Structure 1
Amino acid sequence: MPKLSTNSKTDVLIHIGILISAFLIIFFAFFFFFLPWVTNHGEAIKVPDLRGMTISEMEKTLNAKDINYEINDSTFVSGLPPLSVFSHYPKADAFVKSGRKIYVTVITDKAPLVALPDVVGRSTNSARNLLLSLGFGTPKVELIPAMEENTVLKLKYEGKEIPVGKNIAKGSIITLVVGDGYGNTTVDVPTLSGMPLDEAEILINGMGLNIGSTLFDETSSLPPGTVTKQKPEAGTQTKTGSTINVWVSGNANTEGI
């Protein structure tokens, strides 16, 4: 076998060039010929978007592309059709080789049970937000006469009162029974006729009542801005928080009304 000479710089450079060339040939051969052949790189398949498909639709789609699947999880989503695909991995538009397995999460047809949280005593907004965070539907609100304004006093489900801690299906609609802030207190309607409007308003506000509509009585001879009539009438009883409609002398152009 002939022996290569390494006695000169030229010989050394030639040897280095041969080694580099050999390395590059092996490198390109591995990544562009051997590796694609082993991994079936030329047979890459684009993963379709399976979300929302029924299981049978998903099977047909994947079979046509020679992709396998495995249902490895399930979840409940209120408002979405049960036994349909919720998500999958690899995701849509990823590339996989033939025969690759896709892992699928489907929507179950049975809602899991959730313990009803203790929201009694909370504000309406606080109770609503907590129920939504636990997966319940947007709650209804039922007002009842009670001094605890905007406070949850009890809970109902399907028209019946339910205790805190009871297991209810996720997505269910709970009714919040909330105080209206007035209770069952009633007061005698005072006499407002003959009073200036601003004084009448101070009087009824102090009794827990409110001014409702203010109408003008252009036929009255009383000073402008004087109450000439009211409804409900003086002496009748009304619930705390109710409104009193009044008529005042003058018209819309009267200054100070």
Structure 2
Amino acid sequence: MAQADRSFIGEGIIYARAYQSQDPLLDIGNCDQFNIAWATNRQALPNYRGGGGNRNVQERITDVTATIGMYDLTPENVARVTRSTITAATTDAITDELLIGAGVQGELIPFKHLPDLAETITVKGADDEALAVGTDYQLNPHGIIVLASGKITAAGVKASYTPRAASVLQMMTTSAVELEIYIAGLNDAQSGEPFSLRPRRVKFGMLSQMSVLGQEYLKLEGPAELLADDTIIATDISKFCEMQLVTKVA
């Protein structure tokens, strides 16, 4: 019988939820890779009885690691690889937010929150003197740019505005997250044949770098470790990862 082609090009959707939770498995976005690597500790007992070679050998798995490539910069994805806490920014209108500046032409005075430019924004001096947009300042998606009129001084300004809906990430403020992952995969080399991969307990590590400015699509390339899931007690079920492949019928 001729050997059937079983080549493989994997793609699919990665779903995740908190480890040991009943949360829904949610799509984490566009991902181009999920790689698993194994490290082992090998011990060999030499054969001292003549003829060379080894009498026995033991190879023990020491680390099971993974790398995930995420292209969707959702607050949750960024938080997973930067150990961030997430809070929702207020969307309530803010009145007379005092902002310090130097009053120098071209200076950016950022608001505490990202302003909604579709809503009314008023700016006045720290002494409550009215300031005019286009004369004293220019609106900016982050706040205002000081113009050359000289009315804005080192005393600062007071801004009244409505913040945009946003998530606030405080980076490097919390511990690493542990997730249960389900990869709903398709084998593109076999006309979209389905497969699944279920890493049971994945602990995310820190991102080594995040290219905030650049000319290419930013990818969050997060390191992770597959830890043993001690809730698995059956000896014939892996504590680390399960994969299901469709059986090819001749």
Identify the structure with bigger relative contact order (alpha carbons < 8 Å, sequence gap 6+): 2
Q: Same fold (TM over 0.5)?
A: no
Comparing both structures, which one devotes a greater share of its residues to strand?
Answer: 2
TM-score interval for Structure 1 and Structure 2 normalised by the shorter chain: under 0.3
Return the structure number with greater helix share: 1
